[in-house]
Copies of this chain bind each other. A is one copy, B any other.
């Protein structure tokens, strides 16, 4: 009819994978792996289902790319913050929490985390990637920061790995809460207030009386 003004499609090989992953991130975060339809992912990415298979072998392949894509910035976040921590433990923890709230609050990472939890049994490999590349690194880094602070006499005795979990858990549950219960009418937890009150409270119990 009118070939000049509205071509049926554009050839944009370079941009497609990124766009497909972005669309898949949304759909997977909404529906989980099994219930996500490739047709819907393709449509949201602005192409046909067949074209998705020009860029990815299988649906699981797309899922993998999404997890990688969601993980990468998180690793940078954790690495940079821990590597550059100069001062005492409370400063590091407040910095980490602040970044966590900013990054997780403003992206679909929470949705991906929920998806990983939900699909862990059916796709253990993805849980493994998520754990090995992200979660264990964060827990390990926080735990060794705590252990170092214990050596300096800043932090009371106790299992550093459990301390790390205690530090992270309320923030994580805040995100899961938002993804799971807020959509069905539960009142939200403000991540920022949660983060502040959590650290204020926990640090009192964490630090030795001398250093506090």
Contacts and interface: CB of A to CB of B under 8 A. Distances in A.
A170 interface: yes
Contacts of A185: 128, 131
A200 interface: yes
Most interface-central of A119, A165, A206 (chain B CB within 10 A): A165
A166 B127 contact: no
Interface in A184-212: 184-186, 189, 193-194, 197-198, 200-206
A64 B120 CA distance: 22
A16 interface: no
Contacts of A115: 118
Contacts of A181: 120, 127, 131, 135
9 contacts: A32-B32, A35-B122, A117-B117, A117-B176, A169-B169, A170-B170, A172-B173, A201-B206, A204-B205
